[in-house]
Amino acid sequence: MSTDLDGELIMIDGKTGAFFALKGVGLAIWRKLDDEPELDRICASLQATYDVEPAVCRDDVQTFAEHLVTSGFAEYF
């Protein structure tokens, strides 16, 4: 379950009650993960908007996606 609230995405796991609040870069990554499963394309898109080195972007997006999976908010990455 999720809701958009003032530019922030609030996601709640109905089974555990855990929640995530995403905004800014985290929200941008979430939306890109939903549309584009390829890490390099996600980073290319983020680098067009944010000043981030390719290796840093790749590591950060990978870590973020893995955290979403282990927290139960994404099924795979």
Give per-residue pLDDT as tens, 1-53.
677 878 888 888 778 877 888 898 988 888 888 787 788 999 999 999 999 99
pLDDT in tens, 64-75: 999 888 888 777
Closest C-alpha to 32, from 55, 2, 10, 64: 64
Reported as a pLDDT band with limits 50, 70 and 90, residue 57 is very high
Query: What's the predicted TM-score (pTM) here?
Result: 0.78
- The kind and range of the H/E element at 70 are helix 54-70
Domain-wise residue ranges, the chain: 24-77
The span from the CA of 46 to the CA of 29, in Å, is 8
